[in-house]
Amino acid sequence: MDGYAKVAKLMSHHPERSCLRGFKTLSFQNLLYLQAELVQLEHDYEALAVRDRKSGHPKRSLYEKSFRLLSQSQVDGNDEQLQKFMQIRAKLKEYCT
């Protein structure tokens, strides 16, 4: 056993002597970028929600109030709001972990 595996084994036997870099600056920068992405996604989602609310379309105008209708929006080919929210969900999951 050589290289990283050997170092890792030594560190596991003496964790009190182990030292790992935390990459705090990069971690904070990453969180800031994720926040910026979420802000943009939120803005885009809100614009789609307003558009759908004002559309006069019997289903699209209710997407904000009915997840059932929103989740079925693919059938009607009007699923931009749903797709945007799925992007938000994925980004939030990444941000929260």
Domain-located, residue 5: no
Which amino acid is located at 47 in the chain?
A
Whole-angstrom Cα distance, residue 10 to residue 4? 10
Residue 79 maps to a domain: yes
Residue at token pair 């609310």: 53
Pair 73, 84: CB distance under 8 Å: no
- Note whether residue 11 is domain-resident: no
Identify whether 8 is part of a domain.
Answer: no
31 in helix, strand or coil?
helix
- Which residues does 36 contact at the CB level (< 8 Å), separation at least 6? none
Residue 91 belongs to a domain: yes
Domain-located, residue 67: yes
Provide the residue-wise pLDDT of the chain in tens; the chain has 97 residues: 899 999 999 999 999 988 899 999 999 999 999 999 999 999 999 999 999 999 999 999 999 999 999 999 999 899 999 999 999 999 999 999 9
Domain that holds residue 44: 23-96
Looking at residue 76, its pLDDT comes to 86
* Total of domains in the chain: 1
Which among 85, 77, 74, 75 has a CA at the least distance from the CA of 48?
Answer: 85
Q: Is 73 among the domain residues?
A: yes
37 found inside a domain: yes
